[in-house]
Amino acid sequence: MSIDKTSTPPEESAVVNTEAAAGAATAVDPRLLVREQGFAGYVTEFKRKMKAGDLGSIPVVVGLAIIWIIFQSLNSNFLTAGNLSDISVAMVGTGMIAVGIVFVLLLGEIDLSVGSVSGVAGATFAVLNITHGMNEVLALVLAILTGTAAGAIHGFVFARIGVPAFAVTLAGLLFWQGFMLQILGSNGTINLDSEGIVAKLTSYYFSDVAAAYGLAVVAVAGYFLTSFLGNRRREAAGIPSRPLSDLVLRTVLLAVVSFAVAIVYNQHKGLPLAVVIFLAVLVFTDFVLRRTAYGRKVFALGGSVEASRRAGINVELVRISVFAIAGTFAAIGGLFVASKIASANQGAGTGEFLMNVIAAAVIGGTSLFGGRGRTWNALLGVLVIVSIQYGLALEGIAAPVQYMITGGVLLATVIIDAVTRKTQKTAGRA
Partner 1 sequence: MVHVSATPVLALRGVSKRFGAVQALTDVELEVHAGEVVALVGDNGAGKSTLVKTIAGVHPIDEGVIEWEGKAVQVNKPNDAQNLGIATVYQDLALCDNIDVVGNLFLGREIRRRGALDEVEMERRSRELLDTLSIRIPSVRIPIASLSGGQRQVVAIARSMLGEPKLVILDEPTAALGVEQTAQVLDLVERLRERGHAVILISHNMADVKAVADKVAVLRLGRNNGVFEVESTSQEEIISAITGATDNAVTRRAARTNGESKK
Q: Which residue lies nearer to partner 1 by CB, 27 or 161?
A: 27
Contacts of 164 (CB under 8 A, 6+ apart): 158
Least Cβ distance, residue 22 to partner 1 (angstroms): 9
Least Cβ distance, residue 295 to partner 1 (angstroms): 8
What separation in angstroms does the CA of 399 have from each of 143, 246, 389? 30, 45, 9
Q: What gap in Å lies between CA 304 and CA 94, rounded to an integer? A: 30
Contacts of 30 (CB under 8 A, 6+ apart): none
Least Cβ distance, residue 81 to partner 1 (angstroms): 37
Q: Which residue lies nearer to partner 1 by CB, 15 or 161?
A: 15
Least Cβ distance, residue 18 to partner 1 (angstroms): 10
Q: Which residue lies nearer to partner 1 by CB, 225 or 256?
A: 225
**Contact by Cβ (8 Å): 148, 328:** yes
CA-based end-to-end distance of the chain:
32
**Contact by Cβ (8 Å): 110, 100:** no
Q: Which residue lies nearer to partner 1 by CB, 12 or 195?
A: 12
Q: Which residue lies nearer to partner 1 by CB, 160 or 290?
A: 290
**Contact by Cβ (8 Å): 327, 151:** yes
Q: Which residue lies nearer to partner 1 by CB, 41 or 95?
A: 41
**Contact by Cβ (8 Å): 302, 368:** no
Q: Is 206 helix (H, G, I), strand (E, B) or coil?
A: strand
Q: Which residue lies nearer to partner 1 by CB, 195 or 306?
A: 306
Q: What gap in Å lies between CA 297 and CA 381, rounded to an integer? A: 25
Q: Is 344 helix (H, G, I), strand (E, B) or coil?
A: strand
| Closest to 63 (Cα-Cα) out of 395, 333, 424, 414 | 414
| Closest to 323 (Cα-Cα) out of 134, 169, 119, 146 | 169
Q: Which residue lies nearer to partner 1 by CB, 24 or 161?
A: 24
Contacts of 340 (CB under 8 A, 6+ apart): 89, 90, 93, 202
> How many H-runs (helices) and E-runs (strands) does the chain carry?
17, 4
**Contact by Cβ (8 Å): 136, 339:** no
Least Cβ distance, residue 430 to partner 1 (angstroms): 6
Least Cβ distance, residue 2 to partner 1 (angstroms): 4
Contacts of 263 (CB under 8 A, 6+ apart): 212
Least Cβ distance, residue 246 to partner 1 (angstroms): 15
Least Cβ distance, residue 323 to partner 1 (angstroms): 20
Q: What gap in Å lies between CA 218 and CA 220, rounded to an integer? A: 6
Q: Which residue lies nearer to partner 1 by CB, 6 or 73?
A: 6
For helices 273-291 and 376-394, angle between their N-to-C axes, nearest 10 degrees: 150
**Contact by Cβ (8 Å): 144, 332:** yes
Q: Which residue lies nearer to partner 1 by CB, 160 or 233?
A: 233
Q: Which residue lies nearer to partner 1 by CB, 368 or 394?
A: 368
Q: Which residues bind partner 1 (CB under 8 A)?
A: 1-3, 5-7, 9-10, 12-13, 16-17, 20-21, 23-25, 27-29, 31-33, 230, 233-234, 237-239, 287, 291-293, 296, 299-300, 302-304, 306-308, 310-313, 370-372, 428-430
Least Cβ distance, residue 224 to partner 1 (angstroms): 18
Least Cβ distance, residue 405 to partner 1 (angstroms): 32
Least Cβ distance, residue 52 to partner 1 (angstroms): 10
**Contact by Cβ (8 Å): 95, 278:** yes
Q: Widest CA span of the chain, in angstroms?
A: 85
